[in-house]
Each structure stands twice: as structure tokens, then as C-alpha cells.
Amino acid sequence: MNARQGFVGQSVERREDTRFLTGRGQYTDDITLPGQTHGVFLRSPHAHARIKSINTTAAAKAPGVVAIFNGEPFKGVGGLPCGWLINSLDGTPMKEPKHPVLADGKVRYVGDRVALVVAETLAQAQAARDLIEVEYEVLTPVIDTAKATEIASNVHDEAPGNLCYHWGIGDKDGTAAAFANAAHVTTLHFRNNRLIPNAMEPRCANASYNSAADEYTLYVSNQNPHVERLLMCAFVLGIPEHKMRVIAPDVGGGFGSKIYLYGEETALVWASKQIRRPIKWVAERSEAFLSDAHGRDHVTTAQLALDKDGHFLGLKADTTANMGAYLSTFASCIPTILHATLLAGQYKTPKIWCEVKAVFTNTAPVDAYRGAGRPEATYLLERIVETAATEMGIDPAEIRRRNFITEFPYATPVGLTYDIGDYNATMTRAIELADVAGFAARKAASAAKGLKRGIGYAAYIEACGIAPSSVAGALGARAGLFEAGEVRVHPTGKVTVFTGSHSHGQGHETTFAQVVADKLGIPMEDVSIEHGDTGKILFGMGTYGSRSLAVGGTAIVKALDKIIAKGKKIAAHLMEASDSDIVFEDGLFKVAGTDKNVPFASVSLTAYVPHNFPHDKLEPGLNENAFYDPSNFTYPAGTYICEVEIDPATGKTTVERFTAVDDFGNVVNPMIVEGQVHGGLAQGIGQALLEHGVYDTESGQLLSGSYMDYAMPRADDVPSFHVETAKGTPCTHNPLGVKGCGEAGAIGSPPAVINAICNALGVKDVPMPATPHTVWKAANGKL
Amino acid sequence: MSTSLTLTVNGQSVTRDVPPQTLLVEFIREHLRLTGTHVGCDTAQCGACTVHVDGRATKSCNVLAHQVAGSSVTTIEGLEAADGTLHPMQAAFKACHGLQCGYCTPGMVMSAVDLATHHGCHSEAQVREALEGNICRCTGYHNIVKAVIKGAADMKATA
């Protein structure tokens, strides 16, 4: 079924917009509590150093200072935990050195937290911070991902050679045999450039402690408040979970960077009890650059073996992934579970072998950033497929078609089972929409102006809706990955829905309400969606990995099913009919085959005013919870086609046309879905052309630490996009038939852009980001 | 330390004692508690803090409050009509899905209104160039550009 009736399938305008457009959003920094104090962090100026002494005497006497804390009191509590255990090929567990809340004797990256200064005002806290004297013994930093295991300096004593793990997946010998029989082997070496997420709202938190109740409240800009609470309480501070409330109010973007438990809010919570006053901290942008978990940073060699007709025989990938200085919350699973398992892509490559070395370096922790492993896999695969096509003289669309998986379900050689897809359909439509037929004429027109035009493809797949908990657990996950929902029907038939998913731009308050209103046959105005507060929501695993509608939405649907089932029994009682004769349609409980009916609001009123009520069979009230644990990942897929024009004199690349055709299964709100793709495309084009997190390899200083140095995509860096959501193949294993759309744009676009540049210049490779200087060098044989 | 500052904010005269180093954005957010104006960076690059000073878009993180003494400042809170009707530019952002997380949105809308008022929105390329000083991480700008063009047309139609 392709659900297109009612609100589902309609581009309903967003209900959250009015508050954002009128300045009435409530972000964490907008909340000021009685007795508010302000916290700032003293951060390490060195990439790698031993702390010899910290002198806070002068700072403590500065005006307005309330307290100063260093790492000493945190020696007795836990480190920030990593949520995914990866075992090396030799069976040993990954190295998991303690990730302290505040530095414990050593600093390991520029920006590492050394001390927390709390004062009456922000300016006083900043002034006092400048008075703290720290004596450091500077050590040799480990910066370069590719060389991390060769440098005679250890980020952690527990991880000699800076190796966290050396993991592999697939059939090593079988893949080697496939290569032995190949007619052609294509090899690429590349780096998936380090990115800095840059949600526009910097990370921030406001922690308070209520001594009368012995309870904590934490406002925090976060994507999954229950996970934040669980990790902080159970693994770090030992606070009883029921004594802690975490509220993630309006959150100004996340893109992965606000999934994690960070030391800042952990220190704030602990310190709020010490001083018995609320403490607010808001990262400056420069602090966000230094201390938000970064993304990507893989160094990879990939090889594709093909027969003489361009059929893929085997794929080998060898990746070194930078973990940064400490293991962030989900760092370990990104280059493994979310990367290597995607290397089949849309293709029936029979043999795959992927090895991943994860290394510690003296850089900010690296974790999931929009796409998380899947952009790296897609870049690897779609670059090497397109390169192989060029080398073998086969049309890039044709070589893909020859290898597309066409029968489902399909078990890949790297652990996933795709339930459904139609890769030919999205490719065919993308080729039409991109007017590939007209490319030659456009290329000639560019050439007449002295410009080089190129076209590039990417046919991506991603695994969303993470994940079946038992599968994830078997792969090392230390958490369940279900979602929870609650539907509270009020006596008047109005409905409040509580979801464990968190919206920070995705528009859940609209999309989820569309689903609920349709299901109950009531106006959207009668439905409100609540999220982001552990004090209100029963539980939640939060929003990441394009999982909210597929997993969180399904939990709501399951709760709605229970509401309807109970409503039928109440209605049967009211109409003196048998339960089994009641059907629910268009907001009415009806006796099948008759004109007898009871509206939804009458049933809800009866549930709360149960005078005429089947007390022998039912409890009063109409409120249901559901937890949904998915049985599989969902597999959105599509084809992206990028057309670039390059000025060979300057190396400036302009994205002239970008076409994205995605199969997201059923679509609840096309406007919102297309908006998600637009945003992902800009981030992916940003990765391909502009963005690069760069550390000085000698000093370990972050060189791209501000918007003056880190090239964020701006309005005139990207074109308007041609985005189309295909009619699609609905997901087979969730009731909404949805797959997830949040990351596709960022996953599919980087290889399409680089393939287009290589096509324009007639070169094998151009590294990301393809800045004008890099492209100019490539165009002039100077790379 | 603090000295008296008088200016007009969203049509109302306000007077406060304010330390001389106070940024306009701090004054708006912390002294007046108008929290719709946001801070997204510390280098006057992102534009989230954009307000109007005497009708012109100004990055309020880059101006001291005392520098605008006597001026008329409009923040995002002052854009809608008294009866709650959205300004045409606000309405266009909603209609075109020109916002997602909402954090850059107030600054984006204030810049767009200035652009429409003083320059007009004649082409997509012009709008894109004019929005260079406002960074959005969510929308890829596609729908913002559509919204600004529509909002400008609607402003003209209702003027």
C-alpha cells in the first residue's frame, strides 16, 4: 500500500514553525533559572601534555567566582562510556581507555576540558578562567590518521601503537580468490575528509539540583535525553535514574553531534549539587569547533575486481578510522557496523572483505555525523565503481545496472538483508530528471566558454531505522535500539502523544500528528506531540540514523492500535454489540453492516466517565504505551546525478545541476522529506567541495576552528536542487512502510560531486574537499 | 560601571542601566529577555543574531548596545502584526518550508526583510548572494531562497 489518503502523503505546513518564526522557540540558552550561575571551561591549549600543576588561587578570588573544579573530584566517578564494543580479528576487545569528565593528569587534544569555572555572570567566569595557571609538560602529539600507529608516542598508555581495534568483516580468502580471477582490478586510495558538524545552535546545558527532593534537572541541547540520562546516571555519576530529569527543549540542529554524552553537561550536573545553584554553559562557536565530536576522517584503500563485462567479482577495503583522543559514545561502531556492512551497496558483489583499523590521535573525538559510516561506505563504493567504469570504457549507469540487485530479500556478503528496493527505477528516473541526454550539448556550450563540464553518478543505499536490538547486541551494541511511544486520549477525545524520538528540525510535531490524526480519524488540531523530556516521556532511544518515523512512528502506531482495540470494546458495550462486530473508520466506531456508530470522542468520554462501562472486562481510561523493536533495518536507496562546471584557470567548481531521486518507501509529508534531502545535499556538497577539519600535524592545533577558516556551505555555494521522491517500494516490515530520509542527501552526494569533477577533468581522482586550489592542481597535472 | 541607555525596541522606548561593554545581542537577550535573537558564532559570520537597527539588517553580536542609543531596533519578536498575523516574509518561510531547526531562522528572516525592502529580490542568484552572511545548516538554502523570493513578492503586493 502506498498510503496517500487523509493527512498522510500531504505536504502539511509545519506546526512548529510559528514559534520559530516569531522568536518564541525555547532553546536551552533561552532558559534562565532562579539563582542562575554561569559556567565556562578552561580547555587545553596543547594537543598532548601532562598536567604538572593547576593553580586556581588567584582565579578563586576573582569577582563573582562561585567555585572552580578540576579533574581531581572526578577521579572517583566513571568515565564517559562508549556504547558499542568492537572485538578485533584476534578476538581481543577494543582498547577502551577512560574518558574522564575533566582531564585527569593529562590532556589529549586541543580543547580537552581542564577545569570548570562557575561565577555569578558569564563575563566574571571568563575573566576568572584567564587567571588559572596550568603548568604543562608538552608531549609529542599524534595527529595524522594514516601515521597514528607509527608514531612513537601513545595517546593512551593502555593502547600501545595507538590502535583501538583491528576489525574485519566478510570472506577474506574468497575475496582474494575473486581477485585472482579478475579481468580488471581498479584501485583507489583516498581520504574521507574530517568534518565538523556545526549545528547552528552550539552545545549548551543548564543543570540544577533541588536539595529538598534530592533531584537533578538538566536542560541540554541533545538528540536523546533518555540515553543522556541513562549514561550519565548509570555509568558516570551514579545518580539514581529516577532522581534525574533531562529536558532537551527546542534544539537547534544536531546532525549526530548532540547524540553523545559529553563531559561538559556531566560536570555541570555534578557541580550543581556542590554549589546548590543552577549552572548554565553555552559553547562559543570556537569551543564547538574544538570540542564537538567530529565526523568521518577515514583513510582508505579500495579495490574492485571485475570480469571482462564489468560484473563485480569482489571488493576489498582497508580503512584506517580516526577515533580522536577518546572513544565518544558511538564512535567504535561507525567505521565498522555502520560502514563496512554497507559495502555491498546496490550491487550483487559476491565477495567482500573489509578491514578497519581504528586509531587514537590527539584530536577531538570522532563519532557519528549525518550518515555516520554510510557516507564513507558510499563514497568508497561509488567512487570505485565509477572509476572502474571509466577505466573499462563502460557507461557509468550501465555498469551499475549490470550489477544491481534485482531480487529481494537479498542477503549481502557483509551481514545485512535488504527487504526491498528497485534500483533500476530510481536510476532511470534520475537520468530522465537530470536530462543526461542533453549533457553533451551542455558540455559543448561550457567548452565554448573555456569551461570544463562533467557529470557524475552515485547510487547509494543506506541502512536506517537502527535497529533490531538482538542483532545490534550480537554485534556489540550495549544498548537496546527500540523506541517507545504513548498515546494519551483525553476525555474530550483530544490526544497527546508522547514519543521517545526527538525533533531538532525534522518536524515530528507535524509528521507524527499527520499519522495520528489519520489513524484516529480526528483533526490534526486535536493532536499534540510531546518529546524531549524524561519527566514526561516514558522512555526513548532518541533520534539518529534516520530512525524516528520508522521506529518511533511505529511505536506510536502500535499504541494507537491498542487504543482502537480498547475503544472497540467500549463501543461494543455502548451499542450492545459483539466486540468482533465493531470496525473503526473515519473516527467512528461502527457496528459492521449497520448504520449504528459511536464517535471517537464519545468512546473517550465513556472511558473517563465510566457510568455505562464494561467494568467486568476493562479498566477505565484510554491511555496506551507501546515499545517497538524493529525486525530489520530499513533500506532507503536512490540515484544522485551531479553536473559541475569548472573554470580551469581558477579551479573553481560550480555545481550546475544536482538531481536526487530517492526511494524512501511511503512518504508522510513530502515537503518535509524533500527538505531533509535538500539539507543533506548541502552538507554532502559541502564535504565534497568546501569543508575540512584540519589539524596542524606538528602542534595539533585546529587550523579550521572558526567560520573564517572552516568553509561552511553558504547560499551561493549550492544550487537549487532537483529532488524527487520516487513512488517507491514501501518497507516490508513496519506498518507505515517508511524507510527514513534524514541522511540520504549527505550520503549520496559526495561521490556524485567528485565523480563529476573527475569526469570533467579526465582524471582518476581528486581529493575532498575539491577546493579551487586542489581542482586547479588536478586540472594542471600538479596533484 | 553601568550607564543609562535609552532606545526603541519593537516600537517601545526602553531605558536600562547597561555596562559599556554589553553587546547589542546581550542587551536584547539578557536585559530585555527577547530570546528570539540567537547567537550562533563569535566571529560575526553566521547571522543568527541579525536584527534591524533603524530599518537596516545588523549583526547584533558585532555592535555595542550603547552604539545604538536612540536608535530604533526591531527584533524577530517585533515583526508580526499586533494581532499575531505573520509578516509576509515570516508567512513565506512557513509556506515554503524555509526552516527546520529554527535556530538561524530569526536572523535569516530579518536579513530577508532588509533585502526585500532595500534591494528587491530580482533573481535567485541575487538572493543567494545576499544571504551569504546568514548560515543555515539544515535546509540547504533551497527553500529559504524560494521563501525569500515569495516573501518579497508578497511584501510588495501588500505594501
CATH of the domain at B73: 3.10.20.30
Å between A107 CA and nearest CA of chain B = 25
Give the separation between CA A654 and CA A677, rounded to whole angstroms. 20
Taking 80 as the threshold, does the pLDDT of residue A601 lie above it?
Answer: yes
CB contact under 8 A, B135 and A20: no
What pLDDT was estimated at residue A1? Answer: 32
Q: Which among B46, B109, B127 has the least Cβ separation from residue A707?
A: B46
Contact B125 A678 (CB under 8 A): no
Instruction: Determine, for residues B125 and A23 on separate chains, whether the beta-carbon distance falls below 8 Å.
Output: no
Query: Are A24 and B140 within 8 A, CB to CB?
Result: no
Cell of A161: 601503537
Q: Do A19 and B102 count as a contact with CB atoms less than 8 A apart? A: yes
Q: How does the average pLDDT of chain A come out, rounded?
A: 97
Are B67 and B118 members of one domain?
no
pLDDT tens digits for range B93-135:
999 999 999 999 999 999 999 999 999 888 999 999 999 999 9
Give chain A positions within 8 Å (CB) of B86. 18, 21-22
In which residue ranges of chain A is CATH 3.30.365.10 found? 17-23+482-628, 372-465+633-779
- For the segment A117-127, the average pLDDT, to the nearest whole number, is 98
Homologous superfamily in CATH for domain A31-139+200-253+258-291:
Aldehyde oxidase/xanthine dehydrogenase, a/b hammerhead (3.90.1170.50)
Helix B142-158 with A670-689: angle, nearest 10 deg: 120
User: At residue A4, does pLDDT exceed 80?
Assistant: no
The answer for A 286-305 residues in CB contact with B (under 8 A) is: 286
Q: Does A22 touch chain B (CB under 8 A)?
A: yes
Q: What is the CATH number of the domain that holds B128?
A: 1.10.150.120
- Distance in Å, alpha carbon of A141 to nearest chain B alpha carbon: 28
Give per-residue pLDDT as tens, A672-730: 999 999 999 999 999 999 999 999 999 999 999 999 999 999 999 999 999 999 889 99
Its domain, for residue B97, covers 88-158
Q: Is the pTM of this model over 0.90?
A: yes
Under 8 Å CB pairs connecting chains A and B tally to 180
Q: Are residues B38 and B60 in the same domain?
A: yes
The closest alpha carbon to B128, from B110, B140, B118, belongs to B140
Nearest Cα to Cα of residue A131 among A37, A65, A48: A65
Which pLDDT does position B159 carry in this prediction? 79
Same domain (yes/no): B71, B92: no
A68 CB within 8 Å of a chain B CB: no
B72 plus B8 within the same structural domain: yes
Mutation pick from B2, B85, B141, B150 vs chain A, by most beta carbons of A within 10 Å, is B141
Q: Which residues in chain B are contacts of A675 at CB distance < 8 A? A: 97, 100, 138-139, 142-143
Residues B95 and B74 in one domain: no
* pLDDT tens per residue, range A391-430: 999 999 999 999 999 999 999 999 999 999 999 999 999 9
A120 and B CB contact within 8 Å: no
| A174 pLDDT higher than 60 | yes
Looking at residue A303, its pLDDT comes to 98
Residues of chain A within CATH 3.90.1170.50 domain(s) are: 31-139+200-253+258-291
Query: Are B42 and A706 inside 8 Å of each other by CB?
Result: yes
Antiparallel, parallel or unpaired: β A279-282 and A37-43: parallel
Could you tell me if B110 and B63 lie in one domain?
Answer: no
B47, closest residue in chain A (CA to CA): A200
Task: Give A718 to chain B, closest Cα distance, Å.
Answer: 8
Buried b / exposed e along A542-568 (16+ C-beta atoms within 10 A): bbbbbbbbbbbbbbbbbbbeebbebbb
Q: Which fold has domain A17-23+482-628?
A: Aldehyde Oxidoreductase; domain 4 (3.30.365)
Subunit contact A14:B134, Cβ cutoff 8 A: no
Q: Are residues B56 and B119 in the same domain?
A: no
Contact A548, A506 (CB under 8 A): yes
What is the SS3 assignment for A193? coil
Residues B115 and B133 in one domain: yes
Residue A750 CA to residue A773 CA, distance in Å, equals 18
pLDDT band, residue A313 (cuts 50/70/90): very high
Percentage of the residues of chain A whose pLDDT score is greater than 90: 99
pLDDT at A607: 98
- The total domain count for chain B is 2
Q: Which of A54, A512, A143, A139 is nearest to A364 (CA)?
A: A143
pLDDT digits (tens, 9 = 90+) for A459-473: 999 999 998 999 999
Does the domain at A372-465+633-779 match CATH 3.40.50.300? Answer given as: no
Out of A24, A708, A712, the one facing B135 most closely (by C-beta) is: A712
User: Do B110 and B146 fall within a single domain?
Assistant: yes
In a domain, B83, yes or no: no
Residue from the list B76, B127, B137 with its beta carbon closest to the beta carbon of A200: B137
CB pair distance less than 8 Å for A679 and B100:
yes
The answer for A438, left when phi > 0, alpha when psi is -120 to 50, beta otherwise, is alpha
